[in-house]
Amino acid sequence: MAAAKKAVLGPLVGAVDQGTSSTRFLVFNSKTAELLSHHQVEIKQEFPREGWVEQDPKEILMSVYECIEKTCEKLEQLNIDISNIKAIGVSNQRETTVVWDKITGEPLYNAVVWLDLRTQSTVDNLSKRIPGNNFLKSKTGLPLSTYFSAVKVRWLLDNVKEVQRAVEEDRALFGTIDSWLIWCLTGGTNGGVHCTDVTNASRTMLFNIHSLEWDKELCEFFEIPMKILPNVRSSSEIYGLMKAGALEGVPISGCLGDQSAALVGQMCFRDGQAKNTYGTGCFLLCNTGRKCVFSEHGLLTTVAYKLGRDKPVYYALEGSVAIAGAVIRWLRDNLGIINSSDEIEKLAKEVGTSYGCYFVPAFSGLYAPYWEPSARGIICGLTQFTNKCHIAFAALEAVCFQTREILDAMNRDCGIPLSHLQVDGGMTNNKILMQLQADILYIPVVKPSMPETTALGAAMAAGAAEGVGVWSLEPEDLSAVTVERFEPQINAEESEIRFSTWKKAVMKSMGWVTAESSESSDPSIFCSLPLGFFIMSSMIMFIGARYISGQL
């Protein structure tokens, strides 16, 4: 009976999905795209100073090994032979930056996460050298921002002596999370492969998206030595073999940044097809085919995928929202309004409205379409009637309003409005969120029954790689996907009123901080000279008045 079950399953493909909030390993049937088993581990985020976001690269690596081992144990319990796993794909949080020592294999500093704002003064200084940012944007498709890897590497080179010394001694390697994981999983100090794929490289600001190579001029502008950069490969080819653990000897043959992986997993292979992923942030990508389309409305131009060494590269327009699922985590961890992320739906359902309360979660400034680093989070429209349920509802609405803003920008850039929105990611399990999204966009929202499309995309790329060949990406061979559809349930006028009020709240969130105030580390009130004089003079006047009154 067990043997018959194995025969039915056919070749399997695993996928590492390393996100900002958690790591997962998932195993799919390559013939049916069925998810057979998975394991997930939450990842800690560290906030050493205001605006700083870091993670431990070794914790991330250990979480990958743990997820692989636990998933393999679960497969054995299901009587599924793990020797049927023929390939592994990697999908990862993009832009997050790691520099490590290739001799010892040790990270030289914590991973600087994509959300991190410490580099704002670096960005301000660099922007003075490129009026209008055109030089960078024409080569990279990206605006100069704290979001991307180059300025994070520049900060590490300027501020961390261990990194400076390792670069001088030719011991340093740089990579985004995919590079760090693949190097470690393929042997690390014993022959580990130092590589990345075109989708991750395109998020560094060091990569020319036209020539598909590291750009000497960009590296010189940021003063980053090219010798520390990984080799750039396609998104679907054998990079190396697993060197340890239950899957030792299995090829790692797929690599995609998480949003590109979701685009592949949603099977958006045609020009004009789009998807929106709801994770820590929110990311809307539209396939623009084999041509770069540059946005006039605040969107990014990025590499979508290149599924093979000899296959063409495809591009996408992207709308990036920094805070989506992260606002739910904030309500849980910082305010204690909920004990688990799942509770947000229950609270929102109790009231069914925000009652005029609007939440702009600009914790890391505003990304698309504004690119406004001075913004900070606000909750406005509060009354004595407002309670935690209304704030929970407003948090969900905020995710939907932000999606509306980037969808509007994409419609203006593309010229043809989307007739529906394909969605994926962990937050799509929240039915209230999905209905709100349909109401606020005023178009249907379509969710696949299997929402793990990011991992699926990485698995598809791995299984389709030359030398593996267990997953066909031909249109006629792709499995049909069952979907759940959410139709708008409010009238268009009400939708527009709510959206215009949200836009007023967004304007209120801007201009809260400058680079100097966001980087100040001295909380003392006496660091402000005028305030210090005011307090000291007030104390002197008070003591003098007491003295004079005592003499009378």
Strand locations in 19-56, DSSP E? 22-29, 35-42, 54-55
Q: How far is residue 478's CA from residue 182's CA, in Å, rounded to a whole number?
A: 28
63-67 LR contacts (CB < 8 Å, sep 24+): 63/18, 63/22, 63/23, 64/16, 64/18, 64/23, 64/25, 64/181, 64/185, 65/244, 65/245, 66/23, 66/39, 66/41, 67/16, 67/23, 67/24, 67/25, 67/38, 67/39, 67/40, 67/41
In the prediction, which pLDDT does 483 show?
81
CB 420 within 8 A of CB 454: no
Cis peptide before 225 (omega within 30 of 0): no
Q: Is 336 helix (H, G, I), strand (E, B) or coil?
A: coil
With bands split at pLDDT 50, 70 and 90, how would you rate the model's confidence at 460? very high
In the prediction, which pLDDT does 341 show?
79
Largest CA distance in the chain: 105
Q: Is the confidence at residue 1, as pLDDT, over 70?
A: no
CB 232 within 8 A of CB 196: yes
CB 464 within 8 A of CB 87: no
Q: Is 128 helix (H, G, I), strand (E, B) or coil?
A: coil
φ, ψ of residue 273 in degrees (nearest 5): -80, 140
In the prediction, which pLDDT does 316 show?
94
Cβ neighbours around 211 below 10 Å, total: 9
Query: How confident is the model over 318-327, as pLDDT tens digits?
Result: 988 888 888 8
Strand 282-289 to strand 85-92: parallel, antiparallel, or no bridges (unpaired)?
unpaired
Q: What percent helix, strand, coil does the chain show, rounded to 5?
A: 40, 20, 40
Q: Name the amino acid, one letter, at 97.
A: T
Q: Is 86 helix (H, G, I), strand (E, B) or coil?
A: strand
Residues 6+ apart with CB under 8 A from 251: 86, 87, 88, 238, 239, 240, 241, 242, 462, 465, 467, 468
In the prediction, which pLDDT does 519 show?
45
Cα torsion at 366, 116, 335, 510 (round to 10°)? -30
The H or E element that residue 126 is part of is helix 120-127
Q: Is the confidence at residue 267, as pLDDT, over 60?
A: yes
Q: How far is residue 374's CA from residue 44's CA, in Å, rounded to a whole number?
A: 26
In the prediction, which pLDDT does 547 show?
47
pTM of this prediction?
0.84
Cβ neighbours around 514 below 10 Å, total: 14
With bands split at pLDDT 50, 70 and 90, how would you rate the model's confidence at 480? low
Query: How confident is the model over 39-88, as pLDDT tens digits?
Result: 999 999 999 998 899 999 999 999 999 999 999 999 999 999 999 999 99
> Mean pLDDT score of the chain, rounded to an integer?
87
Highest-confidence segment of 14-23, 132-141, 293-302, 519-528? 14-23
Residues 6+ apart with CB under 8 A from 539: none
Q: At what angle do helices 453-463 and 258-265 cross, to 10 degrees?
A: 80
Partners of 22 in the β-ladder? 42
Strand 111-112 to strand 54-55: parallel, antiparallel, or no bridges (unpaired)?
antiparallel
In the prediction, which pLDDT does 4 show?
45
Q: Name the amino acid, one letter, at 235.
A: S
Q: Is the confidence at residue 377, as pLDDT, over 80?
A: yes
In the prediction, which pLDDT does 101 show?
96
